[in-house]
Amino acid sequence: MKIPIVRLLAVAALFAPLAAFGQKNGCIDCHDQLDDELKAPVAAFAADVHREYGLSCEDCHGGNPATDDIGLAKDKSYKGAPARGLIPVFCGGCHADAAAMRAFNPALRTDQLSQYETSRHGLLLKSGDAKVAVCTDCHAVHGILSAKMPKSTIFPWNIPQTCGRCHSDRELMAGYRIPADQVEEYMGSVHAKALFEKKDLSAPACNDCHGNHGAYPPSVTSVAAVCRQCHPSAGELFSQSPHKKAFDELGMGECETCHGNHRIEPPSTSMIGTDAGAVCVQCHDPGSRGFETAAEIRRTLDGFSAAYDEVEGLLGLARRKGVEVSDAEFSLLDVHTVLVSAENLTHGLDAAAISKAVAEGEQALGGVRTAARGAVDEASFRRRGLAVTTAILALFGAALALKVRRMGRLRRGEGSPGSPGPTVP
Amino acid sequence: MKRRSALDIFFGGSLVATIAAFLYPVVRFVLPPKRTGASVDSIVAAQAGELAPNSAKVFKFGAAPAILVNTPEGNLVALTAVCTHLTCNVRFDAETGTLFCPCHNGRFDLGGNVLSGPPPRPLEAFAVTVSGTDIIVSRRG
Amino acid sequence: MAGSLARDVWRFLDERFLISDLAGFARKKMVPEHRRSFWYFFGGICLFLTGIQVATGGLLLLYYTPHVDAAHESIQFIMGGVKFGWLIRSVHSWTANILIGMMFVHMFSTFFLKAYRKPRELTWVTGFLLLVLFMAFGFSGYLLPWNELSYFATRVGTDIAGSLPLIGPWLKTVILGGPEVSQATLTRFFWFHVALLPAVALSLVAVHVLLVQTLGMSKPIGERGKREIPFFPDFIYKDALGWTVILVLVGVLCVFLPWEVGAKADPLASTPLGIKPEWYFTFMFSTLKIVPAHILSIEGEKLAILGFLAGGLLWMLVPFLDRRARREEKNPLWTWIGLALAAYIVVMTVLTYTVPNL
């Protein structure tokens, strides 16, 4: 049976990529024998995502891996390591080529390079500044891991550290007149707590607000749009409130003005109101409508919060005293949801709406309060019952002891021990 | 002839008191309580007509809250009210006809599917049947 | 008037049940009184506490449901929704622990007093079997609330049973009613706890008590004093005094330390750190933890388990092994063995709770 040689070769060529596995790689063999920075690529590459797709040194750097001779290895196709400024285009050689990427991972985006070119990093690079971040600064080099892997430099909870390598460097940032405290500020925020302590991967890190490849400091208006991605209800309420027009006219950032940008603290009712720590008095003078509204809202929320705390305390007391209160605690959860809802409503600045929501909550709280008081009463009832029962048992015990003593005396008075004696009542 | 002494009266009396002190809790225990146990597989969540269209009611189902919604079209749906993000209670948002979690703005449709926000999984849905005037919610499957 | 009514009732019962002879026997029954007769009370305490368990257990049956979807909820209901449910359940849980503790005391006191010597060998054997049965009561009952601790303690405990050579895996499947802790296990443990074990235990208790009544109380070897008191009513009154004290103790415990409901068992959750069985198993549990992985190429754990089985068997057969006791001679060897065992149990139990990450 004669199989045309061309067809055979064509079939074999289909398996060509597989040939990379198990084929001799002179680059790796040789570099593995070297030290430090010349050996590092080999060690790192073992975990690299490109390796999983059958790619190796020559696919990026060119050269001939089939030989051990360094002169022959660095043949005409050898590109070497690209200069920093040329790295984006170097990586983009494949990653911006949709047809090429389709062969490996059709679902992967191919617009990273074009996005990068619009980013602050990309624009500065184009103007000749090679100190800015290029692909390898964030993605690492040779040991590149997919963003889904927890050890990857771009896994959500590693991103602040990755960005911080440059953005926390005071000297480096001084040259661009940018502060270098953003990562530090972020790490004190409620978002960082959610990401690092609660391991909530939906919590934002640097890239969620600033963009990935197209990272650019957000403008005043765009910050709010970014916040609205996850906090739409607060955003909607704000847009319907008098603040929206006022902030727009004053050119103030919608969310940022009150909540900050990097160090966003967990919100609390102490932010609203007319005392020193409140945000409202930064703009609203005493006597003004805003001032009065702030005070009213704070009063309403504080009242509800205090009532909630009181009932929670009662339930805790009953629980500590051993009374089963999980039913009441369950109902309290619902009230807690109302409290959170009411606090969210503050973005709408509608004191009447907040009062209405709080009134609903207070009604539900009333039921829980009754149950809590009942539970505390039950604890007292148990202790009283114990006292009474112990008293009765003590009396009975005393009666028994006296009986035993009397019988003992009677028996001893009967003469020889051991004789049954008279039947003692 | 047996003589009834003071000690005997004391003994008999305290014995009776002791027995009574023990019988009282036992009798109260055996008499059925008002609430008859925890229903965990199915429960009468509401009565017909209790819920207006486009409104909802939160009730206890087993050990967790559940929500019964009367849709604008008049259909009854029941789902768990525990948000799949960080277990806050979801509420019915009548304006949009969706279930909304105020803690981190998670939003679900009435089938339990996540529409927006951080919740990672849909809400478990329950079966609703109407028997006479009782609206019964029960676990599926 | 009350006196003649009582006499009429007595006469009615006597003509039908022929109890006069029994009453005569009871009236003549005497209990020795000497320096060590204080220890006689512990048997009665065990019987009394068993009665409390039967009563409170029977009451709990009224509201408990042995199904994975309802067990935990029914316990919560008993603790919060039923009048005095908290009391009945807490009494049951606390008394279980106190009872097993008292059984250990009773066992060791009869051991050191050599009460097991002829003709009371079978009293000792049935007593030891009762201890094993009541520990099985404790193990099976512990799962019934279906909370986190019960689920994992059962898993760990049955894993140990499953590691026995040859019969281990089969035994584990039979105990669990399947390959792992599931609804089948809950139903099976419920059956153990309210049907099988009570039937066997009550029969053994009947035999044990019958033997005690028939043979009377054993006196320590060499005790020559002849002082005695009547069983009815003197000893009974003293017994009752002890029971009253224990009742007060149990009451205080239940009001100030009611038994917790716990979190509902979640088979998909990871085993809580430091999971331990109930305290009366901990001396064996900690032994298994500290035993080296291999001893002479045999798995250390398996060797330890076999050791416990062999040790238990020997302990049960002590009346037949202690020849000198049979001759009414003191035998320091067995006394020392008993002391060593008691010390071991106490030390290992204490270590479980004081040494972190044992």
Q: What 3-state DSSP class applies to C231?
A: helix
Phi, psi (5° rounding) for residue A262? -95, -50
> Contact C283/C349 with Cβ under 8 angstroms?
yes
Q: Which residues of A touch B5 (CB under 8 A)?
A: 425
Do the Cβ atoms of B37 and C62 come within 8 Å? no
Task: Give me the helices (H) in chain C, please.
Answer: 2-17, 20-28, 41-60, 71-80, 85-112, 121-143, 148-162, 168-176, 183-191, 197-215, 236-256, 279-290, 300-316, 318-321, 323-326, 332-354
B interface test, pick of A198, A325, A340 with most B CB neighbours within 10 Å? A340
Chain C residue at shortest CA distance from B3:
C3
Do the Cβ atoms of A397 and C234 come within 8 Å? no
Complex prediction ipTM: 0.86
Helix (H) or strand (E) holding A313: helix A289-320
CA B1 to chain C, closest CA, distance in angstroms equals 10
Helix (H) or strand (E) holding A378: helix A351-413
CA B89 to chain C, closest CA, distance in angstroms equals 19
Length of chain C counted residue by residue? 358
- With vertex at residue A32, the alpha carbon angle to CA A26 and CA A36, rounded to the nearest 5 degrees, is 135
Judge whether A425 is closer than 8 Å to chain B, CB to CB.
yes
The closest of A55, A95, A100, A63 to A79, measured between CA atoms, is: A63
CA C26 to chain B, closest CA, distance in angstroms equals 20
Mind listing the pLDDT tens digit of every residue in chain A (425 residues)? 566 776 766 665 666 555 555 567 888 888 888 888 888 888 888 889 999 888 888 888 888 888 888 888 888 888 888 888 999 999 999 999 999 999 898 888 999 999 999 999 999 999 999 899 999 999 988 889 988 888 999 999 999 999 999 999 999 999 888 899 999 999 999 999 989 998 888 889 988 888 888 888 876 667 788 888 878 888 889 999 999 998 888 888 888 888 888 999 888 888 888 888 888 888 888 889 889 999 999 999 999 999 999 999 999 999 999 898 988 888 898 888 888 888 889 999 999 999 999 998 999 899 999 999 999 999 999 999 999 999 999 999 999 999 988 888 887 776 445 545 444 44
- With vertex at residue A218, the alpha carbon angle to CA A213 and CA A221, rounded to the nearest 5 degrees, is 140
Judge whether A265 is closer than 8 Å to chain C, CB to CB.
no
**What is the residue whose two structure tokens read 């064996």?**
C284
Q: Which residues of B touch C62 (CB under 8 A)?
A: 29-30
**What is the residue whose two structure tokens read 């969310």?**
A255
b or e along C27-50 (b: 16 or more beta carbons within 10 Å of the residue's beta carbon)?
Answer: eeebbbbeeebebbbbbbbbbbbb
The contact set of B with C (CB < 8 A) is 2, 18, 25-26, 28-31, 33, 35, 37-38, 40-41, 62-63
Do the Cβ atoms of C70 and B38 come within 8 Å? yes
Q: Which residues of B touch A392 (CB under 8 A)?
A: 14, 17-18, 21
Q: Residues B52-100: pLDDT tens digits? A: 889 898 888 877 889 999 988 888 999 999 988 877 888 898 888 899 8
Q: Which residues of B touch C77 (CB under 8 A)?
A: 35, 37-38
CA A424 to chain C, closest CA, distance in angstroms equals 8
- With vertex at residue C239, the alpha carbon angle to CA C234 and CA C244, rounded to the nearest 5 degrees, is 125
Q: Is the dihedral of CA B16, B18, B19, B23 positive or negative?
A: positive
d(CA A367, CA A334): 12
d(CA A132, CA A259): 30
Judge whether A418 is closer than 8 Å to chain C, CB to CB.
yes
Q: Which residues of C touch B62 (CB under 8 A)?
A: 69, 73
Judge whether A393 is closer than 8 Å to chain C, CB to CB.
yes
